[in-house]
Structure 1
Amino acid sequence: MIAKYELSDNLSKPGPAHSGRETIFHNGSMLLAKVNLKDTGFYTVRTYNILGNAISTTYTYLNVYAYLWNCGLLDTSSQPTIEFVPPSVAEGGRVLLLVRNHPENSVCFAWFKGIVVFHNLVGIRRLPSTKPILFGPAYSGRETLNSDGSLQLHNVSQKDRGLYTLRILNSYGTSEDVQGQLQVDSSLSVFCNALTSSRLMIQPVLGYVAEGEDVFLQVHNLPEEARVFSWHKSNNGSPARKLVEYNRVKSSISWEPAERIRGKVYKTGSLLLQDVIESDAGMYTLEVLNKDSKIERANVQFYVKKSVTQPFVQITDTTVTGGTSVILTCVSPDTDVSIRWIFNNENLQLTEKMTLSPTKCALRIDPVGKEDFGLYQCEVLNHFSYSTSPPVRLG
């Protein structure tokens, strides 16, 4: 224990792990001064009630590194995605929520059933895999958290359908969220049997659509008593923004001013997106306000196909001699791409003297030895395509 703070006394009391650099505040925050590499690790804050019983536990990870840098020439980041295997699972079956393209420097995977709030936490898997798994309030005993970040659900039921969020923490101390929508089949097709079902649902858009095409998000079973419904959009766990609101009482449609109207909304709740572009991809949420002021939600997600352009590699010095350092930069105009490095036509195996920038767009070798001489390339990938740079020679 580092320290505890008693609200009744407004007093902080240091614990055995207190180093003299920690300050605890009345709102639960902790200031850690003059951090060093030994401070890297997981930190836990636990709250207690007046009887001394623990009522909440929250975890975070602090990573301290020797220096911070990035290439500065490429504004891009790794783009993980969730793939459902199979894409739609029958009740009683198993489904794997497979993580594609997670950062190589990942240190923690946290799964949530729904949005990122503590009561939705299924579990936390920390790396290396020898560390124990921390299960949350939403864990049912049917979930398996794998060391590659994937989540497997066993004996699936209709209660498992809906939104899942994965929060990935990397060794730089930053995190990114990725979301996916699980579809669960009943004994009969829920869409063929839409008239006898009362559950609000959206016809899923599977796979990808090309730029310039139209996407129809068809809603089934919009409640008859629905007074107002609205569509919202988010990307990779970012806060959802409202696109449009339909007031069935007034028969009025209100698009948000910041939105370029390239679509139509129907009284059935369905949404037509016309002439889609790359930025239209993401998670779409339908919110329905009933006459009793209860809100019902449904989600759907799709991606937009867009081929990446060929990147190129810049290098600080192509004639370096042993003992000096060098930085190679992968330059691409594309955003929302992943980057991998290739050395002599094979995937680059990082050594202790190699460091990647947080976005992987820059590779530093310090010091450079003869074993590092050869041809370097970078490859950029998105959900749909990839492209490899021409080789550059080091040495």
Structure 2
Amino acid sequence: MKRKSVQGSERQQRLWALQKLKLFSSEDITVRSLMVVSSMVSFKENFWQGLLLMASLLSCWHPTTTTQMGITFVPFPVFEGTNVILQVINLPDTHTSFAWFKEITEKSHEIALYAVNAKGNMTGRAYSGRETIYSDGSLQIRNVTQKDTGHYILEGYNRQAKLVSVAPIYLLVYSSPSMCGRPPTSVQPSIELVPPYGAKGGNVLLRVHNLPEKLRTVSWYKGVAVFKNEEISQYIIAKKESVEGPAHSGRETVYNDGSLLIHNVTRKDTGFYTLRTLSTDLKEEVVHVQLLVDASYLTCGPLPTATQLRVESVPPRVSEGGSALLLVHNLPRNVRVIFWYKGVVVFQRQEVAYYTIGSNSSRKGPAHSGRETLYSNGSLLIHNVTWNHIGFYILRLHRTNMREQVAYVQLQMDASLSTCCNHLTSAPLIIDQVPQNVAKGENVVLHVYNLPQDLRAFSWYKYIHGNQRQKIAEYSRDMNSIIRGPKHSRRMTVYTNGSLFLHSIREKDAGFYTLETLNREFKIATIHARLDINACIHPSTTGQLIIEPVPPNIVDGSNALLVVHNMPEKLQAFYWYKWVGILYKSLIYGTEITTNRRMLGPAYSGRETVYPNGSLLLENVTQEDTRLYTLRILNMQLESQETHAQLHIYKPLIQPFLWVPNSIVRVQSSVVLTCLSDDTEVSTEWFFNDQELQLTERMTLSPARCWLKIDPVRLEDSGKYMCEISNPIFSSSSPPIFLAVIKA
């Protein structure tokens, strides 16, 4: 009731304002005021609910009582520093007054009111001095800034002071095209690792983005603290020279853009690096980055990438008679033909189906069982799965640049849900990898199920074909003996049940393994397994105290777990801090194990949970949680040890907009296409006629890849252009524009 009375009071004040504008008589105002109050909708609780409700009202009102209004931008797109008109379209003749709001329809967010009959307006609390409201309801905003980005709401009233129309619109103000690649002044410097993971003996560039303009010095430090003895190098802007620090190893080079190049990296280079910038007004900024050499401390799972082609079996294990989808992720744009094969090699007789993009048609292959459906996105659906469908499948892409790409996926049966009546006699040969995800240095078993009852012999091969040079071992049941082959190593053990054990696996152990069985009737059965090994040493094998973020890249609004590996057993206490400094104001949580005393620090937000093994869970993370976290442990001798982890949190991307001053250009002239985006720290790719743009000597991309210049233009440059932005999790493509090239 209180909320309604406040809302009604605000609406009453608005009616008084309209009365001052002589739109209505006092009698009309008195009679209609209760009607206005009863028609109000409160948007204060949830603005998005308000927008949805407005949309439902617009779609549900009877056309005889109201006409749908619309709003468009003039001009579009809207650039910072220009003027924009939020132009009203389909304005009903019955509207005699308007009110504009920013974000929500409350008095404090009111921009202006306009009365048609009185030809006058009144400004509201959200009026900035740059807005003008016109008689057709349109609103002009002069000299727009980034702060003008947001939702605008227009309310329309009839002569009886009744709210009859609501039209919301979102205004996005872009930076000027000339600012392409230049971040807003509020954006902090960031560091990109090139390549993302260092290889022993290679070079790694710590590339700096968004470096402030008025700088005095740029300094690099080894570690997370700015200590003089940890300084690698300092670059002095005025002198254009660098001074080596105590931590300089002779392999580091600092460039004038602030980037740091490390030559011939070793595992000792693994760890955090700190960039410190000092401006001419003595303002200091500090940024950290973690370098991983030989992926020694990586999460032992697939390396995160937003563009890598891969196939996922959904579900991972299918029940007999169920359906399985071989779901394709990150299908490239420039694909000409999509092929699917049953097995581990590409043979014509093993072809299930293929799909031709240009003709939007598919054809069945010799291996098609009548239960497969191939979709235009490359995914393959298998209906009513039987044991004959189990095994490997190959996705093969034929691209327009004449390149080919291949991805493998294994379809596995959930034997526990199988309807097969007698597994002992009819179940097929199966290899199950235990564990499913394995890292370098760990052990793995290729566990064999359902060996033939009348087995005579079996052989293991390190390849997809069974030949003597690739043989690991051969078992004879009659002789009850195992004979080792050329590919056998001391780390391999073959068991009489057919299983193969690999101890302390290495990268060279990755690949296909083939098991051949021979029964009493001399029939040969062949089955394959593929062992994928992450190029990393699992943290549990290093013995060092390590924090592993799970997942490595986190979506805004989801949960993040900082998993602690190798926590010592006997501890006095441990503490979590939200930053690198051991300061009480940064303390999230602490526990004194010996006294069983727990404490919540000033940095505790209510979203953190600490587990007995020391791991820290953060729920509903936001962009503000992107930072370094520190775990400090205290052993029984009161000796302390610290380790750090960095969270990377990403939010969904706003669709970019591709802008060109004139989409019709003449031969031999020049044209610049700009990819406008409100997001920072994104990668940008360009496409021409739905294919990756192949740069020619006439084309130039800006360093940030946000604009494309063609000079001189030729007739073959006519066509459809698009840009795509991405971060490690999300990607978004612009609407296409068509560039027409005409003869001079």
TM-score (norm 2): 0.31
Please tell me whether residue 273 in structure 1 is matched to residue 273 in structure 2: no
Work out the CA distance in 2 between the residues paired with 1:233 and 1:179.
Answer: 17
Q: Residue 355 of structure 2 corresponds to which residue in structure 1?
A: 125
CA contact (8 A) 2:518 2:525 kept: yes
Aligned pairs for 1:152-163 within 5 A: 152-163=381-392
Please tell me whether residue 223 in structure 1 is matched to residue 418 in structure 2: no
Please tell me whether residue 345 in structure 1 is matched to residue 681 in structure 2: yes
Aligned pairs for 1:157-196 within 5 A: 157-186=386-415, 188=417, 195=424
Partner residue of 2:486 out of 237, 248, 256: 256
- Counterpart of 2:685 in 1: which secondary structure? coil
Please tell me whether residue 244 in structure 1 is matched to residue 472 in structure 2: yes
> In the alignment, residue 181 of structure 1 is paired with which amino acid?
Q
CA contact (8 A) 1:205 1:300 kept: no
> In the alignment, residue 134 of structure 1 is paired with which amino acid?
R
Q: Residue 66 of structure 1 corresponds to which residue in structure 2?
A: none
Partner residue of 2:336 out of 83, 107, 124: 107
Work out the CA distance in 2 between the residues paired with 1:111 and 1:179.
Answer: 10
Question: Alpha-carbon deviation of 1:117?
Answer: 2.2
1:99/1:218 Cα in 2 relative to 1: closer, same or farther (>3 Å)? same
Partner residue of 1:97 out of 305, 323, 326: 326
Work out the CA distance in 2 between the residues paired with 1:349 and 1:262.
Answer: 45
Work out the CA distance in 1 between the residues paired with 2:360 and 2:509.
Answer: 39
1:347/1:149 Cα in 2 relative to 1: closer, same or farther (>3 Å)? farther
Please tell me whether residue 85 in structure 1 is matched to residue 307 in structure 2: no
Aligned pairs for 1:320-335 within 5 A: none
- Counterpart of 2:388 in 1: which secondary structure? helix
Work out the CA distance in 2 between the residues paired with 1:195 and 1:109.
Answer: 39
Work out the CA distance in 1 between the residues paired with 2:427 and 2:337.
Answer: 39
State the Cα deviation string for residues 94-120 of structure 1 (Å, max 9, x = none).
Answer: 111122344443322111222422222
Work out the CA distance in 2 between the residues paired with 1:347 and 1:365.
Answer: 22
1:239/1:221 Cα in 2 relative to 1: closer, same or farther (>3 Å)? closer
CA contact (8 A) 2:320 2:419 kept: no
Q: Residue 134 of structure 1 corresponds to which residue in structure 2?
A: 363
State the Cα deviation string for residues 35-61 of structure 1 (Å, max 9, x = none).
Answer: xxxxxxxxxxxxxxxxxxxxxxxxxxx
1:351/1:169 Cα in 2 relative to 1: closer, same or farther (>3 Å)? closer
1:366/1:344 Cα in 2 relative to 1: closer, same or farther (>3 Å)? farther
Question: Alpha-carbon deviation of 1:221?
Answer: 2.4
CA contact (8 A) 1:353 1:365 kept: no
Question: Alpha-carbon deviation of 1:83?
Answer: 1.4
Please tell me whether residue 367 in structure 1 is matched to residue 699 in structure 2: yes
Question: Alpha-carbon deviation of 1:269?
Answer: 1.0
1:194/1:302 Cα in 2 relative to 1: closer, same or farther (>3 Å)? farther
State the Cα deviation string for residues 206-246 of structure 1 (Å, max 9, x = none).
Answer: 64211111101111222243333222344xxx767734131
Partner residue of 1:286 out of 496, 515, 529: 515
Work out the CA distance in 2 between the residues paired with 1:221 and 1:152.
Answer: 27
Work out the CA distance in 2 between the residues paired with 1:275 and 1:380.
Answer: 35
State the Cα deviation string for residues 112-132 of structure 1 (Å, max 9, x = none).
Answer: 22242222221101224x431
Question: Alpha-carbon deviation of 1:146?
Answer: 1.4
State the Cα deviation string for residues 72-103 of structure 1 (Å, max 9, x = none).
Answer: x99xxx96433101001112221111223444
> In the alignment, residue 117 of structure 1 is paired with which amino acid?
F
Work out the CA distance in 2 between the residues paired with 1:246 and 1:85.
Answer: 35
Work out the CA distance in 2 between the residues paired with 1:379 and 1:212.
Answer: 34
Larger radius of gyration: 2
Aligned pairs for 1:375-386 within 5 A: none
Deviates more, 1:206-215 or 1:84-93: 206-215
Deviates more, 1:158-167 or 1:147-156: 158-167
Work out the CA distance in 2 between the residues paired with 1:104 and 1:275.
Answer: 40
1:380/1:195 Cα in 2 relative to 1: closer, same or farther (>3 Å)? farther
CA contact (8 A) 1:354 1:366 kept: no
Q: Residue 67 of structure 1 corresponds to which residue in structure 2?
A: none
1:282/1:240 Cα in 2 relative to 1: closer, same or farther (>3 Å)? farther
CA contact (8 A) 2:339 2:396 kept: yes
> In the alignment, residue 265 of structure 1 is paired with which amino acid?
V
CA contact (8 A) 2:515 2:526 kept: yes
CA contact (8 A) 2:355 2:362 kept: yes
CA contact (8 A) 1:255 1:261 kept: no
1:364/1:354 Cα in 2 relative to 1: closer, same or farther (>3 Å)? farther
1:196/1:135 Cα in 2 relative to 1: closer, same or farther (>3 Å)? closer
1:247/1:207 Cα in 2 relative to 1: closer, same or farther (>3 Å)? closer
- Counterpart of 1:203 in 2: which secondary structure? strand
Aligned residue pairs total: 270
Deviates more, 1:362-371 or 1:167-176: 362-371
Aligned pairs for 1:30-49 within 5 A: none
Work out the CA distance in 1 between the residues paired with 2:453 and 2:376.
Answer: 45
Q: Percent of aligned pairs with the same residue?
A: 35
- Counterpart of 1:199 in 2: which secondary structure? coil
- Counterpart of 1:349 in 2: which secondary structure? strand
1:353/1:176 Cα in 2 relative to 1: closer, same or farther (>3 Å)? closer
5+ long unaligned stretches in structure 1 = 1-72, 309-321, 324-342, 386-395
- Counterpart of 2:700 in 1: which secondary structure? coil
Work out the CA distance in 2 between the residues paired with 1:293 and 1:299.
Answer: 20
State the Cα deviation string for residues 238-277 of structure 1 (Å, max 9, x = none).
Answer: 76773413131441322225x6442111121110011112
Work out the CA distance in 1 between the residues paired with 2:501 and 2:351.
Answer: 33
Work out the CA distance in 2 between the residues paired with 1:132 and 1:355.
Answer: 19
Aligned pairs for 1:200-211 within 5 A: 200-205=429-434, 207-211=436-440
The structure whose RCO (Cα within 8 Å, separation 6+) is larger is 1
Question: Alpha-carbon deviation of 1:197?
Answer: 5.5
> In the alignment, residue 445 of structure 2 is paired with which amino acid?
F
Work out the CA distance in 1 between the residues paired with 2:355 and 2:521.
Answer: 40
Q: Residue 535 of structure 2 corresponds to which residue in structure 1?
A: 306
TM-score (norm 1): 0.56
> In the alignment, residue 352 of structure 2 is paired with which amino acid?
V
1:96/1:220 Cα in 2 relative to 1: closer, same or farther (>3 Å)? same
More helix by share: 2
> In the alignment, residue 699 of structure 2 is paired with which amino acid?
P
- Counterpart of 1:159 in 2: which secondary structure? helix
- Counterpart of 1:275 in 2: which secondary structure? coil
CA contact (8 A) 1:160 1:184 kept: no
CA contact (8 A) 2:443 2:505 kept: yes
